[in-house]
Structure 1
Amino acid sequence: MIVTVTANPSLDRTIVLDAPLQPGAVQAAASTREDAGGKGINVARVLAAAGASALAVLPLAEGDPYGTVLTAERLAARTVPVAGHCRANVTITDPAGVTTKLNLPGEMPSADELTALQNAVVETAEGARWVVLAGSLPPGVPDDFYAQVITAVRERWGAAAPRMAVDASGPALAAVVARAHPDLIKPNDDELAELTGVSLDAADADVDALTDANDLAQAAARLGRALVPAKVGAALITLGGRGAVLVTPDGAYAAVPPPTRVRSTVGAGDSSLAGYLLAESRGADPAACLVSSIRHGAAAASLPGTMAPRPGDLPTADIAVAHL
């Protein structure tokens, strides 16, 4: 089983335009949809669609409209009672796949609510292969909350503790890397640069501008090696349409997705992480895990809103993996 944790869930409203967004103008929308969002929820949704055992842990108030949407999806979840309602995020997508997002901060949880969430994660971690800590933290939550959760899980379950994956950014990612040695992190290129304090351009002194996918992959691998294995067990670095890089203690691997008609990039990174976890849980080697990650990320980008790609949505074209 894979447990996902969404500390700051969001009710995602996606608006699809039939023309480019015009700030300050009045535009008609072509369609709209509403999804139970949040990175951990997105990961669990993809896992469940592939037939994997997944359990989503999240805070949820009684009567919150988010609960109605989540229940309709029939996603296995453990909810922790809180007073505040989930935030709402708005995504606007145009025909070219250009995405504009407006994310609200969410409610500030009480100390007791935060403790209850951590305790729920520790309990559900029993027997799991992975625990995935994903997404932003609510206002007022300490930057090291994910690090605290990892420590609590490992102290409770010892040698039987699950592997810990983190998909976060900014101070939350920096704190968990500095204090908790997660088994996997999944930054994108901007998050990796912020984490290491080195831009990808500076990581590759041989090029003036990293416009080539191979140059970008080489630079990402250099920064990843500075973290693996000293600070993290492995790093899955997503590069958008230019692919992804997987850095492990045994080597670094890179691949690019097949041509994809992008409809919405929302949730593509979450799907990439889910694709990696699916393959890893089935015993795949690092190269195969990276291919699975890229297939799922590309499939998510080809779907509207935060729709979870199903096995039939995955691109079937060959994906070559380079050993960097």
Structure 2
Amino acid sequence: MIITVTLNPAVDQNISADQLVFDDRAYILDTFESAGGRGINASRVIHSFGGKTLAIAFSGGESGTHFEQLLKKYGFPAEFVRMKNAIRHNLAITDKQGLSVKLNERGPDLSGPEVEAIAQLVIKRLPKAKWLMLCGSLPPGVPNDFYSQLIEAARKEGVKTLLDTDSDPLTLSVEAGPTVVTPNQSEAERLLGRALLTRSHFIDAAERIREMGSENVLLSLGARGAIGCTPNHVYEAIPPRVDAVCPIGAGDAMAAAFTWAMTRGKPFADAIRWGVAAGTASAMLPGISYPTLDQTKDIYKRVEIKPVS
């Protein structure tokens, strides 16, 4: 089983428009709501691929009730820690040309007992897991080293960990030695304090991040694919050229498919290939949508994976 943890879930409002431009009107073509958060998105992909997943998340307020109702439609099990404050709302707008805007609320303030409650729930479920995915931002009130605590707990149970976060939580938690960390280009730039512009920059960044503590690194580069770094090898995954409609959520799909492949005993390089295929397939879909296994297989056949000398 793959456990996903979402400390800052949301009700996502997804809007498709004819165009996104300044100083001119745009028309809404479609709108729908979904249960969101990086871990929730990862569980959606894993479940659609036939994998076994458990989503653990906070919930609270009227928005939390609505979030739980939306989540039931996806068909995978979820467990919640109830909190006093309501969970956040996010807004995503995409147009027919592939432009997108994502506006996220910071999230509710959490109390110490609430944070401890979700930590204990995760630890209680670890014995039945193969992987633990720690996904997304930390809402106010959660210590920046919170993911580090769960990485340590997972290690004691022999559970592998994937870390997918940003800023201070990423800086502190990568030092705890997760099995793999999956920053995108912007997150890696903030982590390393410098711009990444060229292929050699990306390769060097993946190696430097691994040296910071993570056993392996999967650096997501959007349409340019990904760089994977292990203690002994560096790989480059190059996706096919496609018409991207909405890149929002592609990184979540990549992390999920990578973890799913690893649980199926795939080699690290092949798991990267699956991850890039899922991220690419996700970007081809309208709104915040996630690919099926068949859609991902079609892209997987066209993803080039090669070692970097």
Please indicate the TM-score interval, normalised by the length of the shorter structure.
over 0.9
SS at structure 2 position matched to 1:126: helix
Say which of 196, 199, 204 aligns to 2:192.
196
Segments of 5+ residues of structure 1 without an aligned counterpart are 202-209, 211-215
Contact 1:229 1:249 survives alignment (8 Å): no
Task: Report the secondary structure of 1:151's partner residue.
Answer: helix
Q: How far apart, in 2, do the equivalents of 1:113 and 1:6 lie?
A: 14
Matches within 5 A, 1:13-162: 13-19=13-19, 21-23=20-22, 25-61=24-60, 63=62, 64-154=65-155, 158=156, 160-162=157-159
Amino acid corresponding to residue 13 of structure 1 in structure 2: Q
For 2:215 and 2:140, locate their aligned partners in 1 and report how far apart those are by CA, in whole Å: 29
Residues 24, 89 of structure 1: alpha-carbon distance in 2 compared, 3 angstrom cutoff = farther
Alignment RMSD, CA only? 1.6
Quote the Cα distance in structure 1 between the aligned partners of 2:26 and 2:195. 38
- Aligned-residue offset at 1:62: 6.1
1:322 equivalent among 299, 303, 306: 306
Q: Report the equivalent of 1:172.
A: 169
Partner of 1:43, secondary structure, is helix
CA deviation map 1:124-160 (0-9, x unaligned): 1112111000000112321111112222344xxx2x3
**Structure 2 residue corresponding to 1:282, chosen from 264, 269, 281:** 264
**2:257 counterpart of 1:256:** no
User: TM (normalized to structure 1)?
Assistant: 0.90
Q: Is residue 37–residue 306 contact of structure 1 (8 Å, CA) maintained in 2?
A: no
Q: What is the DSSP-based 3-state SS (H/G/I as helix, E as strand, rest coil) of the residue aligned with 2:14?
A: strand
Matched to 1:97, the amino acid is: G
What fraction of aligned residue pairs are identical, expressed as a percent? Answer: 32
TM-superposed deviation, 1:25:
4.5
Distance 1:298 1:172 in 2: 27
Taking the aligned partners of 1:147 and 1:88, their CA distance within structure 2 comes to 27
Shift in alpha-carbon separation, 1:241–1:113, aligned structure 2, 3 A: same
3-state SS in 1 of match to 2:186? helix
TM-score for both structures, normalised by structure 2: 0.94
| Residue aligning to 1:183 | 179
- Which stretches in structure 2 are left out of the alignment for 5+ residues? none
User: Cα offset for 1:230?
Assistant: 5.5
Shift of the alpha carbon at 1:191? Answer: 1.1
Q: Following the alignment from structure 1 to structure 2, what is the Cα–Cα distance between the partners of residues 318 and 274?
A: 19
1:40-99, CA deviations, whole angstroms, 9 ceiling, x for partnerless residues?
000011000000000000011265211111112222101111122211110110111111
